[in-house]
Structure 1
Amino acid sequence: LTKVKHPWTNGQVERMNRTIKEATVKRFHYDDHTQLCIHLADFIAAYNFGRRLKTLRGLTPYEFICKQWTDEPELFKIDPIHQMPGLNT
């Protein structure tokens, strides 16, 4: 749910939904649900760990979250570094 008096967060969510839709279901045909799930997981990983965004001052979303956690750990319930796929999981 969006915060009260913060309507722009709805816009951010809708824009991300559009980005995902344009990169997946509008470009590819999937024979089954499993293919879609695999492609979505690959796209989200590439976006979060590889795409540098101007709005995040050239950081990837994952780098931005890790920087925020380093600067203000009290805002987080869990360490985002342990959410990265790979050796930590």
Structure 2
Amino acid sequence: MADIKAMIERKQPFWAHAFEVACARNDIDRCLTKPKHPWTNGQVERMNRTIKEATVKRFHYDTHDELRSHLADFVRAYNFARRLKTLKGLTPYEYICKCWTSQPERFKLNPLQQMPGLNT
């Protein structure tokens, strides 16, 4: 069984060949959410809402590149600066680092070396 599971909705856009290949390359076990059970996918839907509220609902973008750039900035800020109650006050990055120190065998890469810096 794969170490990572990707929970996705039963929607056609996610059945793309590239997604299947990426899952296979990274040893990710793909499983589908149950139809007509929205609570199964609640965390993903909440994150999608958070992203929309911080980007497309607040700003107008003249080009897709502007949106991509702002979205990348938002994701970096969220992962490396936003402290979350569900993670007991840690940022998502800090939580991943904490998990890595206790169970490094579950990781392919050392997250301590993934911190954005001068070369990013």
Please give the range of the TM-score, normalised by the shorter of the 2 chains: 0.7 to 0.9
Consecutive unaligned residues of structure 2, counting only runs of 5 or more, are 1-5, 8-30
The answer for the alignment partner of 2:109 in structure 1 is 78
Structure number with higher relative contact order (C-alpha < 8 Å, ≥ 6 residues apart): 2
Q: TM-score, with normalisation over the residues of structure 1?
A: 0.86
Q: 2:23 maps to which residue?
A: none
Tell me whether 1:34 sits opposite 2:65 in the alignment: yes
Structure 2 residue matching 1:85: 3-state secondary structure: coil
Q: Any residues of structure 2 matched to 1:1-89 within 5 Å, and which?
A: 1-2=6-7, 3=31, 10-87=41-118
Query: What is the percentage of aligned positions where both structures have the same residue?
Result: 72
Bigger fraction of residues in helix: 1
Give the match's secondary structure for 1:45: helix
What TM-score results when the alignment is normalised by the length of structure 2?
0.65
Number of residue pairs matched by the alignment: 89
**Would you identify which runs of 4 or more consecutive aligned residues in structure 1 move more than 6 Å?**
4-7
Cα RMSD (Å):
2.3
Structure whose residues are more often strand by fraction: 2
Greater shift, 2-11 or 39-48, is seen at 2-11
Name the stretch that deviates more: 16-25 or 1-10.
1-10
